């Protein structure tokens, strides 16, 4: 049965930062990271590009391990939808989302996240607002040059996961995690690589949660998702993909004025 996640489980959901400077949350050296984490980092950073064939033997040599942990890592990455088996062609990294897939992903987030953040905003004494603000400050005060896509993705995972953890509905939390939204979105190389807009939008959400204002929190979340959708569209390779986002605004869910 789904249940509320422990702190250890929440930490495990974050994106590992491989080889980053010390002092960053969830940072590991390459030696400490598992093959799964290292290959995942390579895919998310585009060191291994989308739609690329993977060779178990080559990965084993590159990472200095046997083939067994590489096979295990690839099985987990297939569960993350970052790799796919194409029999008889082998194992490949998944392509980037196209415009239609991005729109569908954002539709699901618009259905889930404004409601979730409104639920956790009702009790000032126990809501996660203070914790969310602390995570924003941690990210905002990183040294210059650290706000690249991979670090931003880790912050985004941690921030949104705090909301679903606070809801306490294991079914909902599992559904959010199984979207693997952040793993796919941050491969699109959004325009907000330094995190400036994300920080502003996250802060508006967290402040509304902290002051126990459910309506403002939900509205801030809707605004954040629509703004993020526009930013991520800049990474689409599908011609005309951005035009389909108008359908979400007018035909699916209300866009904040």
84 phi, psi to nearest 5 deg: -145, 140
How do residues 12-62 score in pLDDT, each as one tens digit? 344 444 444 333 444 455 557 899 989 988 888 788 988 999 999 999 999
What are the structural domain ranges in the chain?
A: 7-93, 99-252
Query: Contact, 117 vs 163, CB < 8 A?
Result: yes
From residue 17, alpha-carbon distances to 127, 182, 186 in Å are 28, 14, 14
From residue 69, alpha-carbon distances to 54, 76, 80, 174 in Å are 14, 11, 16, 26
> How far apart are alpha carbons 1 and 115 in whole angstroms?
22
The architecture that CATH gives domain 99-252 is Up-down Bundle (1.20)
> How far apart are alpha carbons 6 and 145 in whole angstroms?
32
CATH topology of domain 7-93: Arc Repressor Mutant, subunit A (1.10.10)
Tell me the average pLDDT across 200-227.
97
pLDDT computed for residue 33 by the predictor? 83
pLDDT confidence bin for 96, thresholds 50/70/90: confident
Q: Which of 135, 102, 143, 171 is nearest to 26 (CA)?
A: 135
Q: Which residue has the higher pLDDT, 146 or 107?
A: 107
Q: Which residue has the higher pLDDT, 71 or 183?
A: 71
Q: Which of 78, 197, 58, 191 is nearest to 136 (CA)?
A: 197
Q: Which residue has the higher pLDDT, 145 or 182?
A: 182
pLDDT computed for residue 237 by the predictor? 52
Determine the angle formed by the axes of helices 99-119 and 170-179, rounding to 10 degrees.
150
> How far apart are alpha carbons 26 and 21 in whole angstroms?
11
> How far apart are alpha carbons 72 and 242 in whole angstroms?
37
CA 244 to chain centre: 22
Q: Which residue has the higher pLDDT, 218 or 24?
A: 218
The two structure tokens encoding residue 55: 């060779």
Cβ-Cβ contacts under 8 Å for 79 (sequence gap 6 or more)? none
pLDDT computed for residue 47 by the predictor? 86
The pTM for the full model equals 0.74
């Amino acid at each position: 049965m789904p249940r509320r996640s422990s702190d250890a489980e929440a930490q495990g959901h974050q994106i590992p930062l491989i080889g980053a400077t010390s002092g960053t949350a969830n940072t590991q050296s390459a030696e400490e990271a598992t093959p799964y984490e290292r290959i995942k980092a390579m895919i998310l950073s585009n060191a291994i590009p989308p739609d690329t064939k993977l060779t178990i033997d080559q990965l084993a040599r590159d990472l200095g391990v046997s083939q067994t942990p590489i096979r295990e890592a690839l099985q987990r990455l297939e569960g993350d939808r970052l790799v796919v088996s194409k029999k008889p062609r082998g194992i490949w990294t998944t392509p980037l989302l196209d415009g239609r897939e991005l729109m569908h992903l954002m539709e699901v987030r618009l259905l889930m996240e404004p409601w979730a953040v409104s639920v956790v905003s009702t009790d000032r004494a126990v809501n996660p607002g203070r914790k969310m603000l602390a995570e924003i400050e941690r990210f905002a005060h990183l040294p210059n040059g650290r706000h690249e896509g991979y670090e931003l993705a880790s912050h985004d995972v941690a921030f949104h996961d705090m909301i679903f953890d606070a809801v306490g509905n294991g079914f909902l939390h599992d559904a959010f995690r199984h979207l693997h939204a952040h793993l796919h979105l941050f491969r699109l190389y959004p325009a907000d690589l330094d995190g400036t807009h994300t920080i502003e939008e996250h802060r508006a959400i967290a402040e509304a949660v902290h002051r126990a204002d459910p309506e403002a929190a939900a509205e801030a979340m809707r605004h954040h998702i629509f703004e993020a959708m526009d930013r991520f569209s800049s990474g689409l390779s599908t011609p005309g993909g951005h035009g389909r986002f108008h359908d979400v605004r007018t035909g699916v869910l209300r866009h904040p004025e």
